[in-house]
Every structure is written in C-alpha cells, then in structure tokens.
Amino acid sequence: MGAGLSKCPAFGCILLVVSATVHASGFALLEYGASGLGDAYAGQGVGLDGATTAWANPAAMGAIKHNSLSLNESFVLPRANFSNSGSTQLGAPMIGGNGDQGASNTSLPSFFLVKPVSHGTRLGLSVSAPFGLESNYGTSWVGRYYAEKTELKTVNIGPSLALAINPETYLGVGLDIQMGNANFSRAVDFGTVCYGQLGPATCNGFGLAPQHADGQVAISGRDTSLGYNLGIWHEFSSGARIGIHYRSRIRYHLTGTADFTVPANAQILTAGGSFVSTGASADLVTPDSLSLSFSQPVKNKRIILLGDVDYTRWDSIQAINIRYNNPQQPVTVIPMNWRNTYRVSLGMIYQESDSWLLRGGVAWDETPVQDQQGQPGIPDNNRIWLSMGARYKPSRQNSIDFGLTHIVIHAMPVDLNQSPNGNLLGNMNLKGNVVAFQYNHTW
C-alpha cells in the first residue's frame, strides 16, 4: 500500500478475521454435524456418528455397514462486543462508539454420504464449510480503521475411500477440494495519512484533519486449492474403538482486487500513485492437524465413553505478505507468530431406548494467538465447550440428531497501535452458541 498504510492489514484482514464468528480456535470451523456437536466432537474419529465420519476420519467408514446419508444444518450464534478503554488517534480521543454487535449469525449446511461397495471397501463424500465469517461493526465505531465489514465463505468437497486391512482395521484416504471467497472493508483516515505525508499545515489547507476525512478500502479475493487427509481405525474385541486422523496443510494463493474510495479533498494523496484501485494477492498456508479419538462402551454398551485429542500446527502462519499489482504500493507484511495448539474433549453417549439416544460433552480449545495480541477482526482466546444433544430414531432407516453447544471464551484485550489507524484500546467480550439439526437415512 501507500506509505501511509504500509502497516495496515488490508487484504490480510480477509485471511485473518475468519474466527470472528467461528467456535474453534484460530480460524477453524468445527460445526459440521449435530451428532458430533452434542458431545463436543469427542470421539469424532471412531465412526459412531454415521455418515459424518466421511469428514472426521475416512478410515472409520469401516464401521458403517449400510448406505448412509446425513444432511446437517448448523446455526452459529456468536457475540463479539467491543468495550472502548481510551482509544486515541494522534493523542486525541478516537471518535466513535463501541460499534454494532460485531459477529453475525451464520447458517452452515453440510452433506455426507457413505456407500459400502464391498465387504472391505467404503466410498465417502462430504460437502462442508471448514471456515466462515460474516461480521459487521458498522462505519462509525472507534475501530473502523481496523475493520468494518468482513465476510468469508468456503466450501470443501471431500471424496474419500476406506479399505480393510482385516475386519477390525481400516485405512482411509480423502481428497480436500476447497474453494474460498472473501470480502472485507474498513475505513481509511486520510486526515492522518495526510498529516504523516504532507504535514499539518498543508493538510489543514485542504481541509484534511485526522478522523474528519474518512475514505474506505474494500478488498475481495478468491482461490481454489487442494489438500488430503489420512486415517486409521480399529475396533477391539471389547467394542472399544480408536481412530487416528491426519489432515494436510492447504496452500492458498488468494487473488482479487483492492478498491479505494478517496474523498474529493484527499485526491492530492493519490498523485504519487497510492490509494488507487488495483489487484492484490496473498499467500496463506492453513495448518495441518492430527487427531486421536477413542470410545469405550460400558454398562452392556448402553453407555459409551468418548475422548478426543487434537493437535493443530498453527505455526504455519507466522506472517502474511500482501502484494499489490500497483508498483507504487509496497508489500504489506503482517506478523502473526501463531503457535501450535491442543484441543481436548470428553463426552458420553447414553442409549436410553431403541428410539432415543442422549449425548453430552465438554472441550477445552486453545488459542494460537500469542500474548493476546489479537485484532478486532480476529477475536480469539482460549475457550470451553459445554455440549448436549440427542438422537430420535422413529424408524429403522431414519433418525434425527439435535446438538447444542455453549461456548465460554475469555475476554480478549485489544491494544493496537498501527499507523495511520490509531491506538485502539479496549476489550472484546466474546461468547457464542451453536445449534444444529441433522437428518440421517440408511438403506
């Protein structure tokens, strides 16, 4: 970007704000099925959740003996409210309020299919949204120079295959075809930019003063990329199960446009070629992850204890470099320094009757953000999941799952001081709920 914005995350915010409405750490979206949601996705890789196993661990499709279909709709209901604690711009109080309720409600549909084609072979297909965001803080909040409206939509199409080593052990492999489309906008304080480039005396002559000459930059970008996943699943003679699943990194090269809106009295700042609409691109490497899942039946198998440990290598995101087609706009480097994280979940399934199954679970999910240097577009912190759910089976071939999770997230302190965006100081108060419904059919 131009000299006045060289430190401001513009296109990069598309990549980084994804977690504003998601309920797994970083920018991962975990809400792919109501069956797993009900027990906090404990034991997600052992094949107890029907066709959703095609996504969670393709090897565990070995546990599925009949054609299985699952249609899921998850409703993510997040809250991200900013509380200003004395934000300033060039020493003066920042103009604006605390903003609208920043995180927007989102609906996440998903589809899963498993087809046994022989005694030891299973084919699977999953269509889901692994990342997603829709947030809008409005155009008049104190942090408008960092983020206004952000939207990210992704679709992952995942064909998969499971092959038997023996009747109790399966290996699985899957392909991830992932498409992403992102849009982001924020205000640009051309008054402060002018002060930095031309000096107060010149700028005042043009009527350009800090916080009184706002423009805007709107960014869009998209890409399609590939990844893979591998798994192994085993069932012991006691009925206990174990599953191990690895999902690879995916390398994105997002390309799109950066469109600037410049006030009439600030057009002088474009004379050198800065703040002119142009193409933009950025590389992003999503983390790879390793999951260990287990289940143990007790009480004549009416109760099943569940557990899951996930390790995600977020250290693939150390910095984002944004490059512009306009040679007058230098590369923007956004340091991230994210760390690797763990997620641990425990759950239980209780078979109350032939028609009713009850679920419950808890999880602890670690944030990859170090030292809580989060931005308003990436409100993230350590979180706890409190989950419950049920399955109703009206007939042998049909069932309906319901899942409910309440997310408890520590407040995130915000202390940003990036020229020319000002010193944004306050706290982001976070919480969320997820409700999901899932229809299952076997034949």
List, for residues 48-78, the tens digit of each pLDDT value.
999 999 999 999 999 999 999 999 999 988 8
> How many Å apart are CA 190 and CA 67, to the nearest integer?
60
> With contact defined as beta carbons under 8 Å apart, do 407 and 433 qualify?
yes
More confident site: 167 or 421: 167
pLDDT band at 374 (very low <50, low <70, confident <90, very high): low
Tell which residue, 210, 185, 214, 186, has the closest CA to residue 197.
210
Q: How much is the pLDDT for 148?
A: 86
Residue 295's nearest CA partner among 351, 245, 241, 344 is: 241
The pLDDT of residue 21: 42
Q: Quick: pLDDT tens for 346-356.
A: 999 999 999 99
**What is the rounded distance in angstroms from the CA atom of residue 123 to the CA atom of residue 116?**
6
Predicted pLDDT of residue 19: 39
Q: What is the pLDDT of residue 322?
A: 79
Each residue of 161-203: pLDDT tens digit?
999 999 999 999 999 999 988 788 889 999 999 999 999 999 9
- Taking the C-alpha atoms of residue 338 and residue 315, their distance in angstroms, rounded to an integer, is 5
Assess whether pLDDT exceeds 70 at residue 17: no
- The reported pLDDT for the residue numbered 2 is 34
| Whole-structure pTM value | 0.89
What mean pLDDT do residues 9-22 have?
38
Asked if the model's pLDDT at residue 372 lies above 60, the reply is no
What CA–CA distance (Å, rounded) separates 128 from 34? 13
CB 214 within 8 A of CB 286: no
Which pLDDT value is given to residue 412? 83
- One-letter amino acid of 37: L
Question: Over 70: is that where the pLDDT of 7 sits?
Answer: no
- Rounded mean pLDDT of the chain? 88
pLDDT band at 338 (very low <50, low <70, confident <90, very high): confident
Nearest-CA neighbor of 145 among 268, 7, 272?
7
Report the range of poorest mean pLDDT among 26-30, 49-53, 87-91, 237-241. Answer: 26-30
Question: Which residue in the block uniquely carries the two structure tokens 């302190």?
Answer: 413
Q: What domain count does the chain have? A: 1
Q: Find, among 113, 132, 136, 135, the residue nearest to 124 by Cα.
A: 113
The arithmetic mean of pLDDT across residues 378-394, rounded, is 92
CATH code, domain with 420: 2.40.160.60
Can you give the pLDDT at residue 13?
A: 38
- pLDDT tens digits, 68-127: 999 999 998 888 888 899 999 998 999 998 877 777 788 889 999 999 999 999 999 999
Q: Which pLDDT score is estimated for 67?
A: 98
Predicted confidence (pLDDT) at residue 20 exceeds the cutoff of 50:
no
CA-based torsion, 194, 199, 200, 202: positive or negative = negative
Tokens of 129: 């949204």
Q: Within the chain, what is the greatest distance between any pair of CA atoms?
A: 83
Share above pLDDT 70 across residues of the chain, in percent, rounded to a whole number: 93
Least confident of 46-50, 281-285, 371-375, 378-382: 371-375
Q: How many CB atoms lie within 10 A of CB 245?
A: 25
User: The domain containing residue 37 runs over which residues?
Assistant: 3-442
pLDDT band at 12 (very low <50, low <70, confident <90, very high): very low
